[in-house]
Structure 1
Amino acid sequence: MNRYRNEFALIFCTLIWGGTFSATKLSLISVSSCLFIGIRFALAYLVFLIYIFIKQRSEGTRFPNLKENKGLYFLAFLLGFWMFLGFAFETIGLKYTTATKSGFLTGTLVVITPILQTIFWKKTPNSGNLLGVIVVMLGLFFLSSEWTEDHKFVISFRLGDVLTLCGAFFFSLYIIYVDKASKSCPLDILLLSQTLVTSVFSFGLAFLLDWSGFEPLFVRLDEKVMPALLYNALISSVGTTFLQTKYQKGISPTRAGLIFSLEPVFSAILAYFTLNETLDGTGLLGCGLILTGVVLAELLGRERSVA
């Protein structure tokens, strides 16, 4: 019974994450992309800060001394920096692509991660990972292609798609460093560093993009922005962090990975109902292949000892 409870909690987390693509896409009409990220994670940081302050007061604990633990704090900072880059590229990319495409392109991090592990840790990827990469690459080809009105098959890999794939790359780096940081850094430091670093750098990038003329700095706190901010900051950033931390340890990594691979499916379904987004036959084939590659990487790409 506990296993089903744990799996349901992770499915709920995945559903929430899938909804962030549509919520963010709607809000970008009324706020610049990096300003949205900055406000979102500033809110999440304040919530975590209050929670940790109350927790430390009740337990009589405090953070490790900075001078004596510079390496620990640097690792926590680096983790937050990779998170910032992931969200920056993904959110800016959302301005130039659909929420449906963004969800599936971000999902490719499942096959990017073992490739980066091979580069950093010199581990040869097994056949499951390689098969997943091949299928995902084929899916990306179809997802970025379309039939023109004169019946020509053309590649249409746009700026938003490229930026979103870059975001998936940095999220993969984040996943690799989470594995290292979580073994040495207290959870309280990780929660605060990720949200604070992401927020501060996002505000800085928002002003830089405005100065460069790439994206003007603007915000209208209307009926689109406020619900999206609250959804992404409180429900997605804070709520799912609590649920994932509490319940993921109760099921195997393989099962957790398979559940998380449903995120692009949920994003596509929610984008259909909230944004009226649809895909043609070629796009659907591409999405199906990407999902298949992700699942293959999860099922066949892990060591049997953790399955």
Structure 2
Amino acid sequence: MSRIQANLLLTLIALIWGSAFVAQSHGMQELGPMMFTGLRFLVGALVVLPLAWREWNYLAGRQLALNRDDGLKILGLGMLLTLGAAMQQIGIKYTTVTNAGFLTALYVPLVPVLGWLLLRQLPHWSVWPGALACLVGAFLLSGAQSLEIGLGDSWVIASALPWGLHVLLIGRVADRMAAPFLVACGQFFVCGLLALIWGLLFEPFSGAGIQAAATPILYTGILSVGVAFTAQVVAQRYAHAADAAIVLSSETLFAALFGYWLMGDRLAPAGLAGCALILGSLLVVQLLPLLQPAKTSSEVLPIK
């Protein structure tokens, strides 16, 4: 695969992730947020399962099968994924697709900050002004006239913490296990099962509701969770790290475009300024460290 082909594939991934916000919003017209989250992640787990099974056989044939400790790590990742996905999904119920797309991306500058706090990894200097600019952008995007931020925006902003922790840890876990598809499938299954159990216990649902929401469930489960993650793993083997950072950040723009086109989202000048601040900060935080020749990056970027 050429670099251009890899970049085109990454663009398709960003488009899928951006459009998934619309599907997530439509899905909750019939189902509660936890029920919808559970079903879509279980579908995603089934999509990745053949690759995970092949990886399992490969490792077992070389006496490298995963052990109990590996299983506990996957369980922990799945629980973080559940928190992030659930908070985001609840937030989407009360805010616009455009806001959700941009506010979800707040985890990007949060990851190096968490790395500094938890792992003592000194972040690039650009993280600090980038994080501050993201906070200002989030305030402007929320449309708040005071220091109060809307309920939906608050949930999405809160989801940045578990998303950030998940991104910080998943690369370390997957690298040590040398089993990215097993880790992905396992965490998707844990997330889907936990969310589904919560939905069954505490949310109203019906067979007719699940059937009515089948298209959003399948779209987000097959494409956003299953296909996009797998394609990301492939594309980033051939794409330059700087290319991947820029292209995948366009997810926020695609979310805004689909929100404008399909959901009727409209932004005031302050909201547009907030979007610009967040997007600019994402690019600065991701790209400036890559300009240092001594440092390269081949890590898989966050799963959506």
SS in 2 for 1:91: helix
Q: 1:112 to 1:302 in 2, by over 3 A?
A: farther
Residue aligned with 2:237, SS:
helix
Q: What are the superposed Cα offsets for residues 61-110 of structure 1, whole Å, 9 maximum, x if unpaired? A: 499666xx222111121111111111111001111111110000001111
Contact 1:129 1:301 in 2 (8 A): no
Asked if the contact 1:145/1:155 (under 8 Å) is kept, the reply is no
Task: Pick from 131, 145, 158 the counterpart of residue 166 of structure 1.
Answer: 158
Q: CA deviation at 1:52?
A: 4.0
SS of the aligned residue for 1:183 comes to: helix
Q: Please state whether the residue corresponding to 1:271 is helix, strand or coil.
A: helix
Alignment partners' CA distance in 1, 2:93 and 2:19: 16
Q: Within 1, Cα distance between the matches of 2:131 and 2:3?
A: 30
Q: Is 2:175 aligned against 1:175?
A: no
> Which residue identity does 1:172 align to in structure 2?
G
Work out the CA distance in 1 between the residues paired with 2:107 and 2:48. 27
**Aligned position for 1:140:** 138
Q: Which residue of 2 aligns with 1:192?
A: 185
Cα separation, partners in 2 of 1:21 and 1:62, compared to 1, 3 Å: farther
Give the residue type in structure 2 aligned to 1:20: A
RMSD: 2.4
- What residue in structure 2 maps to residue 150 of structure 1? none
In 1, Cα distance between the equivalents of 2:124 and 2:216? 40
TM-score (norm 1): 0.87
Q: What amino acid does structure 1 have at the position aligned with 2:134?
A: V
Aligned residues of 2:59 and 2:65 also touching (Cα < 8 A):
no
Task: Give 1:181 shift.
Answer: 0.8
Aligned to 1:306: 296
Identity %: 26
SS at match of 1:306: coil
Structure 1: gaps spanning 5 or more residues: 147-152
**Paired residue for 1:149?**
none
Aligned equivalents of 2:271, 2:195: Cα separation in 1: 32
Kindly report which structure 2 residues correspond to 1:14-25, keeping only aligned pairs within 5 A, or say none.
14-25=14-25
Question: CA offset at residue 21 of structure 1?
Answer: 0.5
Residue of structure 2 equivalent to 1:36: 36
Going from structure 1 to structure 2, the CA distance change for 1:8 and 1:170 (only over 3 Å counts) comes to same
Matched, 1:235 2:205: no
CA contact (8 A) 2:56 2:182 kept: no
Alignment of 1:276-291 (within 5 A): 276-291=264-279
Cα offsets for 1:1-33 (capped at 9, x unmatched): 811111111111011000110111011111111
Distance 1:221 1:187, change over 3 A: same
Contact 1:32 1:206 in 2 (8 A): yes
Structure 2: which amino acid aligns with 1:169? L
Shift of 1:56: 6.1
Contact 2:87 2:159 in 1 (8 A): yes
Moved more, 115-124 or 249-258: 249-258
Give the equivalent residue in structure 2 for 1:48.
48
SS at match of 2:146: strand
Measured in 2, the distance between the counterparts of 1:65 and 1:303 equals 38
Aligned length: 293
CA distance in 1 between partners of 2:162 and 2:13 (Å): 21
Q: Which runs of 5+ in 2 are unaligned?
A: 298-304
Q: Tell me how far apart the structure 2 counterparts of residues 164 and 134 of structure 1 sit (CA, whole Å).
A: 17
Counterpart secondary structure, 1:184:
helix
Q: Report the CA distance between 1:46 and its aligned residue.
A: 2.4
> What TM-score, normalized to structure 2?
0.88
CA distance in 1 between partners of 2:172 and 2:225 (Å): 21
Residue 226 of structure 1: aligned partner = 214
Q: CA deviation at 1:187?
A: 2.6
Stretch moving more, 120-129 or 161-170: 120-129
2:100 maps to: 102
- Is the alpha carbon distance of 1:46 and 1:299 closer, same or farther for their aligned partners in structure 2, counting shifts above 3 Å? closer
Looking at structure 2, the residues matched to 293 and 58 of structure 1 have their Cα atoms a distance apart, in angstroms, of 41
**Cα offset for 1:229?**
1.1
Look up the match of 1:205: 198
Compared CA separation, residues 53 and 63, structure 1 to 2 (3 A): farther
1:49 is displaced (CA, Å) by 2.7
Q: Which letter maps to 1:81?
A: M
Where 1:182 maps in the other structure, the secondary structure is helix
Counterpart CA distance in 1 for 2:15 and 2:280 is 19
Does the aligned pair in 2 maintain the 1:128–1:299 contact within 8 Å? no
| Compared CA separation, residues 156 and 45, structure 1 to 2 (3 A) | same
